[in-house]
Amino acid sequence: MPDNVDTTVRATRVAAIVGPYTSGKTSLFESLLCVSGAITRKGAAADRSRLGDASVEAKSREMSVETVAATTTFLDDTWTLLDCPGSIEFLQDTRHALMVADIAVVVCDPDPARAVMVAPFLKFLDDHGIPHLIFINRMEHAKASLTEIMSALQAVSERPLVMRQLPIFEGETVTGYIDLIHERAYHYEEGQPSTLIRIPTDVEADERALRQDLLESLADFDDSLMEELLNDAEPAKNDVFVSLKRDIADDLVVPVLLGEAERDHGVNRLWKALRHDAPAPQVTWERRKKDTPDGIAQVFKTQHASHTGRLSWVRVWQGCLTDQTTIVGQKIGGLYALQGADVTKIATAGMGAIAAVGRLEDTHPGDVLSEAGCFPAEIWPQPPQRLFALKLSTIKAGDDVKLSTALAKLTADDVSLHFGHDPDTGELLLWGMGEVHLMVAVDRLRNAFNVEVKAERPKVPFKETIKTSVTERGRHKRQTGGHGQFGDAVLEVKPLARGEGFVFTDRIVGGVVPKNYIPAVEAGVRDSLSKGPLGFPVVDVGVTLTDGSYHAVDSSEMAFKTAAGIGMRAALPKCTPTLLEPIWAVSVAVPSEWTSKAQRALSQRRAQILGYDKRPGWQGWDVVKAQVPQMEVHDLILELRSLTMGVGTFEWTFDHLQELSGRIADKAVADAQGDAE
Ligand SMILES: Nc1nc2c(ncn2[C@@H]2O[C@H](COP(=O)(O)OP(=O)(O)O)[C@@H](O)[C@H]2O)c(=O)[nH]1
Ligand SMILES: [Mg+2]
């Protein structure tokens, strides 16, 4: 693509605002909208009147739980800004938004200790080659020097960071900045654009040194710039801009800007950086289409809204989308513009625009819409493994069907949510990324679907086994008028090795139990294993039918099945029943400064720690491998996050069943018996 492509095509560009929770994304979103005139006055964070806090759930929890869009113009360019959730639990929406953005603005705090919170965002952006810049917010409240902040941020970025601006301090406060490419100094003015001032003499030397750093970083990817620097020539300003723009588009360098969103400081500068350096949608589409089917627009979010029905949020990649556009032989069911919580009907959405399309029932984030149909993207961020579950039950009788319908809709719109019945306990489980994630879903069930549910800790799917063998006769004989019932089976019950399950052997000789009754004996045995003497499914048991007898008239399949059950119920309690608890293989990933804390937390959860290693692809992170009782994994993610500023996580898989005795086992058995009564 030629460098000047966006000067000829005035298509809508999209900037996604991302970064950790409370870094100031929504404040920056409002400030960008206000400075560019889309809103006349900023809402207050305190009363949740900001455009970015559109949803009921966002308002009540004082955090963004889903992406909010708003469109504005800055110097004749149309922009749609996406205010994306920052909480780790809601990142799936953010990942989807980033996949369709031309550029991302990563907002962060001026605090080296919190730089690690930016790591998950930078990693995703670098993995997908998405152009981005960093905006250090609250610069006026920085507790560390810019050098310390930059080096902490660099430690979590695979790409080199380049400082675009140098702050000007008067005492403790930042009163303006120097632009390192223009080499101009600006003084912040309250409620007005900054004014041009002379570069203060005491920072001139710093300015020259940082500018040189910036040029050298760019020269690493630009031979002619390198040659100029080696010859001590002053590169032409335009060459520097062209170089910077190209490097950003290719995700080779990441410029760092500074400001204070609450006071609109640095926001005009950010707008200009976006205007000059954000790739045009045509450039983004060139990059995207390598792994995206051809089409008009790509879905990146779906949403159930009570007044409009289902909406599919799309970005227009080619041509334009109109309310007359045909998709799979059908006219689309309405086209809408999105502005905060407002959804307004429109006739067309041009190249690059973000719009919502009504009544497409079967779209998923990543799908590309074309006249021929709706096709999934080849590469699209898959939801991470679910980490936290709660058992749901309806409060009002008869709401069960309503609940499943609502959950189907909720989980279609949020692919990191999942629901289903646990095969072992039969409980209805809602799975997601964390407690807040699930509680927001519970709120939505109430607010959007009018279903009240109770959410509780799920049961652990304990099993039981036996440790000793016994032989027991099960005899069933009944004479009630007419012809009676008779079955008689001698069963040898013995423990099997862990994981062998259930093995039934027939060792009848001489037809003492006729062949046709033997499957009935096996069925009777199997039934008895569904709930053993401790109250749980019995596993790893071998049962051999060794002897028995029958009656020519009174014997039947039913009678032998009953006899087997009687035999098993007599046998199992004598075989030293033992509780088995499920153990998961867990890989905990944390920044290495917290590795030992994570190990300690695991040990306190009865884990067997197998060791730790570097986390592949993650600089400065470790992975601790451990075997952890499933019971202890339930709220592990909550503890990991609180230990690691929210970034720690884990992967899991079921590993094996392990004997459990003592106080915890006694309680599990007592609970199961309590439930049965
Ligand atoms: N002092 C100061 N406070 C800010 C600034 N930006 C945001 N805040 C405050 O920090 C809190 C979190 O900001 P918010 O924009 O909601 O963060 P988000 O979670 O990233 O969207 C709010 O109370 C804001 O008023 C800033 O530049 N300076
Ligand atoms: Mg926010």
Residues 163 and 215: their CA atoms lie apart, in Å, by 10
Mean pLDDT of 430-444: 95
**Is pLDDT of 380 > 70?**
yes
Q: What is the pLDDT of residues 204-232, one digit of tens each?
A: 999 999 999 999 999 999 999 999 999 98
Q: pLDDT > 90: what percent of the chain?
A: 81
Looking from the CA of residue 62, the nearest atom of ligand 1 is 16
**Is pLDDT of 543 > 70?**
yes
**What is the model's pLDDT at position 59?**
65
**Dihedral-angle region of residue 210 (phi above 0 means left; psi in -120 to 50 means alpha; beta otherwise):** alpha
Looking from the CA of residue 263, the nearest atom of ligand 1 is 27
Residues 496 and 492: their CA atoms lie apart, in Å, by 12
**What is the model's pLDDT at position 6?**
44
**Is pLDDT of 83 > 90?**
yes
pLDDT higher at 520 or 43: 520
Please, which residues have CB within 8 angstroms of residue 78's CB and are 6 or more apart in sequence? Answer: 10, 11, 12, 13, 71, 72, 352, 353
**Ligand 2: centre distance to CA 83 (Å):** 7
**Over the range 347-356, which residues count as b (16 or more CB within 10 Å of their CB) and which as e?**
eebbbbbbbb
Q: Are 244 and 253 in contact (CB under 8 A)?
A: yes
Ligand 1 pocket member 31 (CB < 6 A): no
**Is pLDDT of 238 > 70?**
yes
**Ligand 2: centre distance to CA 436 (Å):** 15
Q: What is the DSSP string of 556-604?
A: -HHHHHHHHHHHHHHHGGGG-EEEEEEEEEEEEEEEGGGHHHHHHHHHT
Q: What is the DSSP letter of 41?
A: S
Measured from the alpha carbon of residue 262, the closest ligand is: 1
Mean pLDDT of 386-402: 94
**Is pLDDT of 41 > 90?**
no
Q: Which two tokens stand for residue 311?
A: 């909406």
**Is pLDDT of 80 > 90?**
yes
Ligand 1 pocket member 261 (CB < 6 A): yes
Instruction: Kindly report the protein residue whose alpha carbon is nearest to atom 19 of ligand 1.
Output: 22
**Is pLDDT of 427 > 70?**
yes
CA distances from 344 to 57, 283, 303 (A): 21, 28, 15
Residues 249 and 469: their CA atoms lie apart, in Å, by 71
Residues 105 and 134: their CA atoms lie apart, in Å, by 6
Instruction: Kindly report the protein residue whose alpha carbon is nearest to atom 9 of ligand 1.
Output: 24
Residue 329's pLDDT band (cuts 50, 70, 90): confident
**Is pLDDT of 9 > 60?**
no
Q: Which two tokens stand for residue 89?
A: 């639990």
**Over the range 88-108, which residues count as b (16 or more CB within 10 Å of their CB) and which as e?**
bbbbbbbbbbbbbbbbbbbbb
**Which of these, 16, 100, 101, lies nearest to 64 by C-alpha position?**
16
Q: What is the pLDDT of residues 577-594, one digit of tens each?
A: 999 999 999 999 999 999
Looking from the CA of residue 83, the nearest atom of ligand 1 is 21
Ligand 1 pocket member 59 (CB < 6 A): no
**Is pLDDT of 4 > 50?**
no
Mean pLDDT of 530-556: 96
**What is the model's pLDDT at position 465?**
98
Residue 58's pLDDT band (cuts 50, 70, 90): low
Mean pLDDT of 478-488: 86
3-state secondary structure of 140: helix
Q: pLDDT > 70: what percent of the chain?
A: 97
Residue 2's pLDDT band (cuts 50, 70, 90): very low
Residue 660's pLDDT band (cuts 50, 70, 90): very high
CA dihedral 353, 358, 360, 363 (to 10 degrees): 40
Ligand 1 pocket member 26 (CB < 6 A): yes
**What is the model's pLDDT at position 1?**
38
Mean pLDDT of 633-651: 96
**What is the model's pLDDT at position 46?**
66
Residue 48's pLDDT band (cuts 50, 70, 90): low
Q: What is the pLDDT of residues 119-146, one digit of tens each?
A: 999 999 999 999 999 999 999 888 899 9
Mutate to test the pocket of ligand 1, among 53, 262, 263, 265 (most ligand atoms within 8 A of CB): 262
pLDDT higher at 467 or 374: 467
Residue 8's pLDDT band (cuts 50, 70, 90): very low
Mean confidence (pLDDT) of the chain: 92
Determine which of 61-65, 429-433, 607-611 has the lowest per-residue pLDDT on average.
Answer: 61-65
What's the burial of 622, exposed, middle or buried (CB within 10 Å: 0-12/13-18/19+)?
buried
Q: pTM of the predicted model, to two decimals?
A: 0.92
**Is pLDDT of 481 > 90?**
no
Q: What is the pLDDT of residues 307-320, one digit of tens each?
A: 788 899 999 999 88
**Is pLDDT of 170 > 90?**
no
**What is the model's pLDDT at position 218?**
94
Residues 623 and 170: their CA atoms lie apart, in Å, by 45
CA atoms within 13 A on the CB side of 100: 33
Q: What is the pLDDT of residues 549-565, one digit of tens each?
A: 999 999 999 999 999 99
Q: What is the pLDDT of residues 176-211, one digit of tens each?
A: 999 999 999 999 988 788 899 999 999 999 999 999
**Ligand 1: centre distance to CA 22 (Å):** 6
Strands (E), 137-183: 161-163, 165-170, 173-179
**Over the range 508-544, which residues count as b (16 or more CB within 10 Å of their CB) and which as e?**
beeeebeeebbebbbbbbbebbeebbbbbbbbbbbbb
**Is pLDDT of 361 > 90?**
no
Ligand 1 pocket member 25 (CB < 6 A): yes
- Give all domains of the chain, ordered by start, each with its CATH number: 5-206+247-286 (3.40.50.300), 293-375 (2.40.30.10), 388-456 (3.30.70.870), 464-575 (3.30.230.10), 580-676 (3.30.70.240)
Q: Which two tokens stand for residue 6?
A: 């966006």
Ligand 1 pocket member 27 (CB < 6 A): yes
CA distances from 611 to 123, 128, 608, 634 (A): 25, 31, 9, 21
Cβ atoms within 10 Å of 461's Cβ, excluding its own: 20
**What is the model's pLDDT at position 259?**
94
Long-range contacts (CB closer than 8 Å, 24 or more residues apart) made by 230-239:
237/181, 237/182
